[in-house]
A and B are shown apart, each in its own frame.
Chain A
Amino acid sequence: MSESLAKWQQPDTIQTSLNAKNIAIVGLSSNPLRASHFVGLYLLNNGYQITPVNPTEKEIFGLTCYPNLLEIPHEIDLVDVFRAPDAAPGIAQEAATIGADFLWLQFGVISPEAIAIAEAAQITCIVDRCIKIEHARYRGRMHWLGFNTEQISARRREP
């Protein structure tokens, strides 16, 4: 499985996607112990504009929460998905409608159908990866905790 997904896990694609500014997080939870909450807070602290999407919440991080992507009144560059795989095709369809550039499916959100829908609308997909980890790998502090960033370089890096 992981090998067949390699096409949607390319380092170049991932690094380009991190240039996005407006990120909608579908399935963002207000529970501080959920992975989506960790990721949302991390992206917020690292300068991204976050738009929560979750029909069961009104506000998360003090930001208005929308029931779906179509209701969002502003532009979205990247859609980050924390939902069961069977919800992904519908989200991909919405992402196509609002003209997002990237569809990011988090760990375990593996849906060939969602990928097909998104790619048909020229949306670049990243699958079975965590945007927080990848940000920390290329731009953040992942190496502070002994993780393997796979970034081997003799260049000076900021502490």
Chain B
Amino acid sequence: MPIHQTTSYVFEDSDAAAAYFNLQEYGNTYSRIMNPTVAAFEERVANLEGGAGAVAFASGLAAQSAALFTLLQPGDHVVASSALYGGTVTQFKHLLRKLSVELDFVDINQPSAWQGAIKNNTKLFFGETIGNPSGSVMDIQAIADIAHAAKIPLMVDNTFATPYLCRPLDWGADIVVHSATKFLGGHGTSLGGVVVESGEFDWSNGRFPIIEAPSPAYHGLKFHETFGTFGFLMKLRCETLRDLGACMSPFNAFLLAQGIETLPLRMRAHVSNALAVAEFLQTHTQVSGVHYAGLSASPYQTLVQKYLPKGAGAVFCFDLVGGREAGIQLIEQLSLFSHLANVGDAKSLVIHPATTTHRQLSDTELNAAGISAGTIRVSIGIEDAQDLIADLAYGLAAIT
């Protein structure tokens, strides 16, 4: 897969150039909008997710912003799961407010709460296949059915599951987003994000004039009518990506695509190690709770069997009996786990939210966020499971 490290492309002639800019012919114009290396990455992700196509972005959050900008306008309303990655919560709360878009968070475990949150101006449902860091599992089909009955699309962040463990579009989701930074890339080297769309949602159902009506930002083009299945994706690329500008670099596309080549091998190792480590932690006297959906005692077992039969991912939290101090001590003792703020690397990662990502919060606020002062989040890598367990056993034994 060559790296097309270029900003732009020599046109064959003036007619060809005009046809590309008018979107009459598929052609390369400028790398903020498209690039052959990035396109190869996009098509692979689209294929793995079973979508009509994909558009890549500079990061996972850039991908989410672009999806939101494409389908929302001021006065719209979004319903999102309350169990989301913290960065997404911040993005939704503050960015959407600046755009005069209303937002309600609802309980991911209660599909009926989603039904109750629908308003006349609701334009989007959003949730994570596997919640970060709570480990919740989304009942995608039930929530998609509720969305579709109200002509609303469902967008799912599939970062933690990857298409190897779950393909949300197969269960009725309309849009999938990824932080490719995590398991898709798999090596903690490159940021990237991607939006995949099924091509099956009816954007001309009357609820989405922003996509259906002639676009003033593209000389009056009606994206859905003109491009059918590809209408949303064309608008996402040729308007939103063009205007927001957060494109993926060709070099990152190359590295992320190389990561995807080993996705099935890595995911198999990730989930089997995660289960082994979770089972070990469950029996340890220093540990008061392990929130891994793959454990047979997990309240999510039924949903795991339906949506994640190959495994419940590799990121989960556990609580230490000794609270905040015990958390600090454990982190200090570990030598195989890297102490950093990422997930989804081939190597195992650990973080103590109370002293890092959630440092500003009081114990009461921590509890409201679903974690405690003694909560540890791990992202289990593909090392030998016994080595990981030995490292954790050593660290837990050192807690005084």
Contacts and interface: CB of A to CB of B under 8 A. Distances in A.
A binds B: yes
Interface of A: 2, 32-35, 38, 41-42, 45, 107, 130, 133, 136, 140-150, 152, 159
A152 B27 contact: no
A48 B364 CA distance: 70
Contact of B26 (A32, A141, A152): A141
Interface stretch (B47-55, B144-152, B295-303, B350-358): B47-55
B53 A130 contact: no
Interface string B45-78: 0110011111110000000000000000000000
A148 B226 contact: no
Interface of B: 19, 22-28, 34, 36, 38-40, 42-43, 46-47, 50-56, 200, 214, 219-222, 225-230, 233-234, 237
Interface centre among B46, B55, B200, B234 (most CB of A within 10 A): B46
A102 to B, nearest CB: 20
11 contacts: A33-B222, A38-B23, A130-B228, A133-B230, A141-B26, A144-B26, A144-B36, A146-B42, A148-B43, A148-B46, A148-B52
A146 B19 contact: no
Interface centre among A33, A38, A146, A147 (most CB of B within 10 A): A146
B47 A148 contact: yes
Contacts of A141: 25-27
B239 to A, nearest CB: 13
Nearest to A150: B47
B137 to A, nearest CB: 26
Given A45-B19, A143-B40, A148 B222 contact: no
A33 B26 contact: no
B228 A33 contact: no
Contacts of A152: 47
A141 B24 CA distance: 12
A146 B200 CA distance: 17
A32 to B, nearest CB: 7
